[in-house]
Amino acid sequence: MLPALLLAAAVPVAAQYLPMTREGFADVAAQYFAGSDRNHDDKLDREEVAVTLGVARGVLKQRREAELFEMDVGADGRPRLRLNEKGPLGLGGRLDLLLAHVDRDRDGLLSLAEVQTVVRERFDALDRDGNGTLDEKESSAARAQLGSLVRILGGGG
């Protein structure tokens, strides 16, 4: 569920306010987009997205390895398999997958229109009855997805 809810708009909103309407989602996305666009070029690059999502800049420069998993031997002598954090599913790789999902024109940058497209798509998927407003059950599902996104991107939770 990688593109779980929103991108730049979603994570900071999780602890604060979750809009209940489709346009409310788009408005919040626009506000966070503007705050994330540090160089004011109306695009978000990989670093701007990473900073907004709380991903350390060092992760962006980390050498990427091909292996998904690492294996070692635990203190009990048994082999252990764990996710390779420098691999394609490490934090940098997960960030890249999220960016690829949102970057519809494949230019390596996110525009406000691209972010809002994903925001509206996610809202529509959450709005099960299609009435343009999230009821309590739909809102709970949105919060659960937000929590999943934060965990996927390494924010704990």
Which pLDDT tens digits describe the chain residue by residue (157 residues)?
234 334 434 444 444 556 788 888 888 889 889 999 999 999 999 989 888 877 777 777 778 888 888 899 989 999 998 888 888 777 788 888 888 999 999 999 999 999 999 888 888 988 999 999 888 888 888 878 777 666 665 554 4
Q: What pLDDT, on a 0 to 100 scale, did the predictor assign at position 123?
A: 87
SS3 19: coil
Number of domains present in the structure of the chain = 1
DSSP state of 132: S
Asked if the structure places residue 157 within a domain, the reply is no
User: What is the span of the domain harbouring residue 127?
Assistant: 10-152
Size of the chain in residues: 157
Q: Per-residue pLDDT tens for 129-145?
A: 999 988 888 888 887 87
> What are the φ/ψ torsions at residue 63 (nearest 5 degrees)?
-65, 130
Q: What pLDDT, on a 0 to 100 scale, did the predictor assign at position 110?
A: 94
Asked if the structure places residue 103 within a domain, the reply is yes
Alpha helices in the chain (DSSP H): 10-14, 22-36, 46-53, 57-61, 91-102, 112-126, 136-152
Tell me, what CATH number does 109's domain have? 1.10.238.10
Asked if the structure places residue 133 within a domain, the reply is yes
The CB density around residue 129, as the number of other CB atoms within 10 Å, is: 10
Q: 110 has which bridge partners?
A: 44
Q: What pLDDT, on a 0 to 100 scale, did the predictor assign at position 13?
A: 44
Asked if the structure places residue 87 within a domain, the reply is yes
Rounded CA gap, 8 and 74, in Å? 38
Per-residue DSSP letters for 42-85? S-B-HHHHHHHHT--HHHHHSPPPS-SEEEEE-TTS-EEEEE-T
- Tell me, yes or no, if the pTM score tops 0.85: no
Find out whether 107 and 97 touch, Cβ atoms under 8 Å: no
